[in-house]
Chain A
Amino acid sequence: MLYRESGQFVTSYRADQRVFRLWQERWGLALLLAVAFVMVPFIANDYWFSAILIPFLVLSLAGLGLNLLTGYAGQLSLGSAAFMAVGAFAAYNFHLRIEGMPFLLSFVFGGLAAAGVGVIFGLPSLRIKGFYLLVSTLAAQFFVQWVLTNFSWFSNNSSSGVITAPQLIIAGHDFSTPLGRYLLTLGIVAALTVLALSIVRSALGRNWMAVRDMDTAAAVIGISIARTKLVAFAVSSFFLGIAGSLWAFTYLGTVEPHGFDLTRSFQILFIIIIGGLGSVLGNFLGAAFIVLLPILLSNISNNLLAGAIDPGQLENIQKIIFGALIIFFLIKEPDGLARIWQSLKRRARVWPLRF
């Protein structure tokens, strides 16, 4: 009764193809946005904004970016952090070097720069598949980091390549407070999420999934494999690039190339495995998981065990738990947390009956 389509008849294909087909979905989304934009600012404190909500949103966006490439287009990548770095450093330079560049526009240009770099490192995917592609994305990971560290032009000649976010002023409003940074991040992430939903339902998204599921058949029905893969690399890197800019400017404030190392790439990969490959919602669930688990663990250790475990050991335990969770999800729920949400929805649809 809570969630079902009874009584809601679609009368045109257009209505059937809407992103949010049921009123429950539309109202649910409106409610969620209202809570996020209006209610959360009243409830949460600065710690919540800076340490939980902003990283959660940025990592969700990064997961979304990788998921478009890996979950939808089927191209495995271990270089997500490199594309984030390109986005962050490009946005920094656009804003720094072009007089009067609006802040948001420098984000977009940062994303576009990342897309360009993504396409370059996606080129080998035209000849190679599967594990072999890892070499290209790892090349991106190491090469980008090397360039950003070794050529100080990219960080405006600062020591060890550190860049510092300029004042976040958009249309006269200062977004530098934790609340302001939260709202800015939320707005951008929400907009890009809607875009991602539109993409995966479009002909473009279908072509990605076709290439993912069976590339020979996709070629035979006339899908241009090369173009499809490169567009996937471009779009994915665009999302990752914007996530990188947000990571640098609204989350950390200062960042060095090392902040976008291989560990970050793994973290994003873990988000999409835990959250669910080929799902938009899953990235948010996965990111929440990956942000909250360490906090939960350290709270348990501090409060319940009275700090009996030292921080180094805690990190090891965290690593073991993450590894075990990854394997657990791959074995028991390969479609991730998003799948669990789906089955809850199916339950709600027939509730109070079971089937």
Chain B
Amino acid sequence: MLTGVVFDIQPFAVHDGPGIRTQVFLKGCPLRCAWCCNPESHAAAPELRHHRARCHTCFQCAAACPSHAIEQGADGLPRIDRRACAQCATHACIDACPNDALAMCGTRMTPDEVVAAVLKDAAFYRNSGGGVTFSGGEPLAQPAFLEACLRGCREAGIATAVSTTGYTTPEVLDAIEPLVDLFLFDLKLADTAQHAFWTGVGNEPVFRSLATLASRCPEKLVLRLPLVPGATDAPQNLATLVDRLTELGLGAVQVAPYHGLGADKYADFGRAPPMSPPPPDAPAVRAATVALRRRIDAR
């Protein structure tokens, strides 16, 4: 049976697409953006999360673990040996924790289950012009699952949106595009070497996808740029991005300032955050927005 891995379903999402929406977060992403605030979205498989802020260091988890994968770390908190952890189905450590500090991140679901969850709020979508938004991770990284989910929502009359990095193959895009009403498309860096440096992958597939959508259905595109100090906010990058967009006949870009709030989450997965620059202040965001608009208007 076809299943996918979902790490969150958020009802009453009002910032990603029009109206009241349900946002479905698909786990797994081919990119590793240095500023990513969702480390739980990276790996494709379900994984154990240790909410360090909730931990009272009672080590009942360590006592319960059948693989002896938990011990006290240098910081006094439990340290999980991720290779020794069997990701066991019994979840003995999770059950043992009195403070809900341990949880599995990611659930295997069938498309029908996802559609059923989305449909619960159908009345809210109808009254607000909302719908469903598939986000991630990179939702296109689970193409068959995503396609089935989108088809199910469409058949139930639910408007669909996909929040994507655009990092995918032409075949996947061709299969998905007709099922999507709105693409929330993230742009980052115009230069592919820079893109590879900051996200771990080159940007050729991104711009290939963008070109496809721009020629086929520009009305479905909403472009967004994470404004990250020292990375995406360089004037040269903004200028080149606008050039590329102009070639494709595209205009407005929404600026989403980096907020750094996800940095603490990395440790919950036994990883270190790749970077944590100070978030841009309000004048910087305004300046970048104005700069983008000027350049676009100048064309």
Question: Do A and B bind?
Answer: no
